[in-house]
Amino acid sequence: MFKKLFETGKIGRLELANRMIMSPMLTCYTDGEFVSDRYIAYLAARAQGGVGLITTEVAHVHPLGRLEPNELAIHDDKFLPGLKKLTEAIHAKGAKIAMQIGHGGHRCNSKLIGQQPISASNIAGIWGEEPRPMTIDEIKGLVADFAAAAARAEKAGFDGVELHFAHGYLVRQFLSPYTNKRGDEYGGDLHGRTRLASEIMAAVRQRVGDFPVWARINGDDFLPEGQTHEDAKFLAALLEKNGADAIDVSAGTYESAQWSTQPMFLPQGCLAHLAAGIKGVVSVPVITVGRINTPEFAEQTLTDGKADFVALGRALIADPDFPRKAAEGRGSDIRRCIADNACIDRLIFGGLVCTVNAEVGREAEYQISSAVKPKKVMVAGGGPAGLEAARVAALRGHQVTLYERTGTLGGQVKMADRSPLKGEMRFLIADLVDQVQKLGVQIKLDTPVDSALINEANPDVLIIATGSKIAVPDIPGIDQDNVVTAHDLLADKVTTRQKVAVLGGGRVGIEVAELLSEQGKEITIVERLKRVGHDLGVSYWAASMAGFKKHGVRLLAKAEIQAIEGDTVIVNKEGEKIVVEAETIVLALGVKPVKDLEEAITGTIEYHMIGDCVKPLSCLEAIGEGARIARII
C-alpha cells in the first residue's frame, strides 16, 4: 500500500530502510544533562516500531545554551559514555540514530545557566529575559562549539547530526530580522544574517568529513518581521553549498506558537508546502514535518514530490509502532495523535506526556503483561477512562464487559469535539472504541449500572468510571428556565437564544463560547479568575482569543457572579456592578464527581474508581488512570 514510504533512502552516505524519520522533540527525561535509562527506553520503543531514523532531542553545544534542567548535552567528553549506550540500544533495535545539536540563545534562563543569556541582539524571547548581544569572539567560539559537538556525536556512534537552525533557538535568532538588529557582518541584510549558519555548516563539514550532516530550518517564521519563505530558500541553497546533506523544513517560533506547535485545528501536512518550496532550490533530500498523522497522508506527500522524507513527531509519541503497523497493513490500528498539545503544554511538569498514550515515558514499566489469573471485569462508564481500562484489561487476558448508561461512548470528550478548534478529539474515542471491539470487549449501551446489575453480572473486579456532572452553585436565580448546563448544550439537548452569558471561562466554557460564536450568537464570558482560558495551553489560548476577537465575544475576568435576574446576570467586577444582558445563561462553573455507584456497592467485591468520579481530571489524566488500574488487576 505504501510504496514510497517504504522505499530505502539516503542522506549523504547514510542509508535508511524507509522514508520515515522520528522528529527531534524535547522530553525532559534525561538525568540532568546526561542520558538516562528512561530516555533510552523511550527512544528504543520507537526504534523497535520500525522508523528508519531517530533524531534525538536537541543537545546543547555549550553550557550557556542549556534550556531545561533535564536536557541532553554534548559540550564535553564526559557525556560520551551515556551517548554511546544510547546509540548501541537504538542500533540493537534495527534503527539508525542522529543527534540534533543547538543552542537556546535568548530562550535560556540566567537562573539555570548562571549568567545573562546571549543572542544576536538584546531582543528578548516571548518567555525569556533580555539577552546581551554576542561578541565576534563569542560567535567564532560558537562555530567551533558546533564543530566539536558534531565530532563527539560521530565518536559516540551516531549515524548523523542535525544542526538546529529553526524555531526559537540561537542560530534562528541570527537569521531573523525580528531578533537580529546587529550592524556588523552578522546582521543587516540576508547575507549578513545567514553568515553564522553558513559558517557553522562549513566548519562542521570540515571537521567531520563525509559524516552525514544536515540542518533543520524554518521554512517561514510566520511573523511580520521574521524570516520569510524566500529567505528560507536562500538559506537552504547556501547550506547545501557549504556541505549540508539534507534540509529539514519546519516553521514557526515561540512568538508564532500555532505554527511551531501545530494544534489540531491546523490541517495535516500544514508545512508540506514549505518543504516543496525548498525542494525547488536544492538538490539534496528535503525532509518535511508538521501534523503527518496517517501513513496514507505520508505516502501522498512523498508521491506528490513535496519532500523526500517525512518526519513524524507526535505521531510516534502517540504510537511508536506507526511504521510497523503501516508495513503490516494495519493502518486502522494506529493510535492517532489528536494534537491537543498536552505533550507540549505539560512538558516541564515531569517530562513528556501524551493524552492518547499513557505508556510515554514509562515504556519499561508499562509493558503489557498477561494476567496471572484472568478475571471477569466489569467497567461502569464509557468515557476515556473506562475505555482505556477496558482496552488494557482485555490486552492482559481479562474477560471485560463495559456498561454505558447513555446510547453513545465517549463521555465528555464527545462534547469537546463540538468546538470548531477541537474536531479531532473524536479520533481519540473512535480509536479506543475500535480497539476494545477488536479485543472482544462486550459493550452494553443504554445500561446504567446499579447494585442489582452488579449482583447479576457477579464480576471479580468492578471498575467505576462514571464521570462527573456540571456543578450547580448556590446563586440566586440559578433555577430559572433560561439557565442550562454546558454539558446539555454541547450534547444538543438544549438550544439558546441570541444573547448568551457563559458562566465560567475555563476549558468547557471556552468550548461553549467557540461553538455559539460561530453560530452568530452574542456571547459574554464571565470568569472569576484573572484570565479567561486559564487552563488552556498557549497555542489553543491564542487561537481562542483570536476567534473571540473576530466574533466580538465579550470577556469579563476577575468577575464574581452575584445573581441571575430574568434575562440578566449581575456581576461584581473588582467592586464595579455590571449587568450582563443574557436571554440564555450557560453554566460552565466546574464539575462534581458522580459517586452514586460506590455508595450502592454491597459485599466484598474488589472495585476501583477512576477518572472524574474521583475528582475532576483532564482527558490525559483520565486515560492515565484507566491505564494504571488495568495493569494492576
Catalytic residues: 169
Which strand (E) or helix (H) includes residue 443? strand 442-444
Give me the residues paired with residue 379 across strands: 402, 463
Provide the sign of the torsion angle of the four alpha carbons 350, 610, 391, 337, taken in this order: negative
- Phi and psi at residue 291, to the nearest 5°: 55, 50
Identify which of 506, 551, 504, 508 has the alpha carbon closest to the alpha carbon of residue 525: 504
Copy the grid coordinates of residue 361.
515515558
Task: Report the C-alpha gap between 244 and 256 in whole angstroms.
Answer: 27
For the chain, the C-alpha Rg in angstroms (whole number) is 26
CB 74 within 8 Å of CB 152: yes
Task: Report the C-alpha gap between 532 and 544 in whole angstroms.
Answer: 10
Task: Report the C-alpha gap between 169 and 155 in whole angstroms.
Answer: 25
Map grid coordinates 456581576 to a residue. 571
> Could you tell me the end-to-end alpha-carbon distance of the chain, in angstroms, rounded to an integer?
39
Long-range own/partner contacts, residues 365-373 (CB < 8 A, 24 or more apart): 366/627, 366/631, 368/392, 368/395, 368/396, 368/631, 369/396, 370/396, 370/397, 371/396, 371/397, 371/398, 371/633
Classified as helix, coil or strand, 70 is coil
Task: Report the C-alpha gap between 353 and 27 in whole angstroms.
Answer: 8
364-to-25, 33, 337 alpha-carbon distances in Å: 20, 21, 22
Give me the residues paired with residue 483 across strands: 585
Which strand (E) or helix (H) includes residue 195? helix 195-208
Task: Report the C-alpha gap between 633 and 393 in whole angstroms.
Answer: 8
Strands 468-470 and 591-593: antiparallel
CB 74 within 8 Å of CB 38: no
Task: Report the C-alpha gap between 431 and 624 in whole angstroms.
Answer: 16
- Which residues lie closer than 8 Å to 334 by C-beta, 6 or more apart? 294, 295, 319, 321, 322, 325, 326
Q: Count CB-CB contacts under 10 A for residue 581.
A: 13
Q: Count CB-CB contacts under 10 A for residue 96.
A: 23
Residue 350 burial (10 A CB sphere; 0-12, 13-18, 19+):
exposed
